[in-house]
Structure 1
């Protein structure tokens, strides 16, 4: 495959190059094989086709961006950004309970089918997923979206997908800040990246079981806060959406204010003690992260700029290159 010159968008040009080079050297040697405009010759319309698939799906279902972003996190944190989460079969990552609620697979499959027609055997599922998540942030349903950023491509698809690798590599919503710091550090990501990437919770939704242990309600409707860091009025609203005995399939928007818009409302919610998860609320409670939360809550442009940098690092975690992987013909199975 060709290696073309690196082209960056205005403003992010030099900074993105610096971030990418430093991250590749320190945490992901294979990342050095990634490049901007990787498909410039082999499949020029690749990014357009992925973006079109995301836009089309989002116009029908506003929850798609949140699903795609979550799908990327669950992929990159397990085996690296190699589309291993897309593989189907007994004992694969998708079979672990932590992943059974993932969505957005049909969007990736749709983009892959189109690309296989125009550029067969060329664009990896790992790149499609990374690009789709990138586009999901920018494309928001009937509202202003998030930042438009450029990420390098050239990832190859992994050959290994094991359910046993999921739990040790996924953050639980009950994690303490120290546990999250240790986890992010193991992926080559900093405390700053932790706070910025937590902002992904400005879109998406969660099942009631992910936060129901923060409060309880008796048969008379009386509310008792177990986690005092949670706003009582917000907790009362959550109990109405997640009543005792309700179906386990019920979901609640991560952001109660601007559910389908990628913005800095997440940090404003934290200041109002309306972080949905315990792992959100700890960012405000701990002095190591509180100041950054306050800054981001009042500076959306600053959040967008920081997001571009941290997202670039996220999508470069543990990438496969050369004989480490393949270009799958179908995202759900290896070429075998």
Structure 2
């Protein structure tokens, strides 16, 4: 079963295409041979300053790729004329993730000016975040270009919701050519990081719209601890709560083990176990961390190839937070 699963992911990877045929591991071998080391060093330095860096940088890649493709559009700063993607309500990504990419870009530009795209740096940084948290390493294919569109108005409906059921999750991932299996594996990224109370409060106090009811799929003691962290009268986002209460800063397969005992933080987490469609893969990932790591590498590689821009499409930004200035102009658009 495990061998067939990995073969399936490898075959899916070969079909992921979408502009990825021009990407290669050695894309910068001549122009910036130390790019992987430079990015890793920058991410490592930032991670040593804050434990928010690894989960937020990993999340940054997913949110980038699901909107406009993996083109660093999420890094653009809003202007008076444009509310950029990063400021969409659905994103709410910690500043540490953006700072990490900024520092990595600075290091790369100092060594290889005008060569490496921000889009490639985001993918490498996400890989390094996984590695620094104890997860697997993989070779990142490179050659992406930076996008020229970043609008908050284009985000709604593109990202998976905290209250999605399995059918909705599958449909959301299918929109970017990812499969149901990809969805389950990539959800394993929730072994790292935190969520706000407003993403799951209804599970505690008004499940299915019934006042005072809690989600019966959630472990009773877990419900109790969540209610302490997120009291009923609280308004606004509320406190941060770890997705994986047992090891929130370690990349492992405990996310799936938690689902088996009713400790999935979001409805969209726990439903992966309660739904017959996805439960078998959850159980398989819970059973073997090695299998999860191998499958995660393949799914991440596939996700990082979503609608990539290559060749003459897009640009190589001088600064990741703004588009390059157009010809004959002294100010960026």
Superposed pair shares fold, TM > 0.5: yes
Query: Is the 1:207–1:252 Cα contact (8 Å) retained in structure 2?
Result: yes
Give the aligned partner of residue 237 of structure 1: 225
Distance 1:303 1:216 in 2: 33
1:106 to 75, 99, 104: 99
Superposed CA RMSD: 1.8
Distance 1:259 1:224 in 2: 29
Deviation at 1:20, TM superposition (A): 4.2
Distance 1:173 1:322 in 2: 36
Deviations 1:41-74 (A, max 9, x none): 1001111011111111111211211000111110
List runs of 5+ in structure 1 lacking aligned partners.
Answer: 1-13, 218-222
Query: Is the 2:119–2:145 Cα contact (8 Å) retained in structure 1?
Result: yes
Alignment length, in residue pairs?
A: 310
Matching of residue 228 in structure 1 with residue 221 in structure 2: no
1:305 to 294, 307, 328: 294
1:126 to 110, 119, 122: 119
Deviation at 1:16, TM superposition (A): 8.8
Deviations 1:152-186 (A, max 9, x none): 01100000011111112111101111111111111
Distance 2:145 2:98 in 1: 18
Matching of residue 168 in structure 1 with residue 157 in structure 2: yes
List runs of 5+ in structure 2 lacking aligned partners.
Answer: 1-6, 326-333
Query: Is the 1:123–1:327 Cα contact (8 Å) retained in structure 2?
Result: yes
Deviations 1:211-263 (A, max 9, x none): 1110129xxxxx95431111121111112112232663521111100110000
Distance 1:129 1:249 in 2: 28
Give the aligned partner of residue 178 of structure 2: 189
Give the secondary structure class of the aligned counterpart of 2:102.
Answer: helix
Give the secondary structure class of the aligned counterpart of 2:205.
Answer: strand
Deviation at 1:77, TM superposition (A): 0.1
Query: Is the 1:177–1:283 Cα contact (8 Å) retained in structure 2?
Result: yes
Deviation at 1:287, TM superposition (A): 1.0
Deviation at 1:324, TM superposition (A): 1.8
Moved more, 58-67 or 190-199: 58-67
